[in-house]
Amino acid sequence: MKTAGVLPAEVKPCSQCGRCCQEEVCDIGHQIFATDKAPCPGLEFKGGKYWCRLVPITDSLGKSYRNAFALELGIGVGCDAEFEEA
């Protein structure tokens, strides 16, 4: 799989490297795609970065759903991933 960005060593803004979604499927992705097999089917590589293609859908579902989705994915919180380098 393509790699974009640099993996942060501690909590920093998301670099959109896609590693989190390459490693596991979140609860929302599991419910929507009916799989827990990584990489997440919602992961999309576009413009040199990884994106969750489910995020734009939340705009039409209302603020409460959008906020719950952001909380589940940690949107705006930053990256605290601790991945081992291969």
List, for residues 23-34, the tens digit of each pLDDT value. Answer: 999 888 999 999
- Asked whether residue 6 is assigned to any structural domain, the reply reads no
- Asked whether residue 26 is assigned to any structural domain, the reply reads yes
**Residue 27, both tokens:** 């609860």
pLDDT value at position 85?
Answer: 57
Domain count along the chain: 1
- Domain extent, residue 46, equals 19-73
- Asked whether residue 24 is assigned to any structural domain, the reply reads yes
- Asked whether residue 35 is assigned to any structural domain, the reply reads yes
Rounded CA Rg of the chain: 13
Three-state secondary structure call for residue 44: strand
Question: Does pTM top 0.85 for this prediction?
Answer: no
pLDDT value at position 10?
Answer: 62
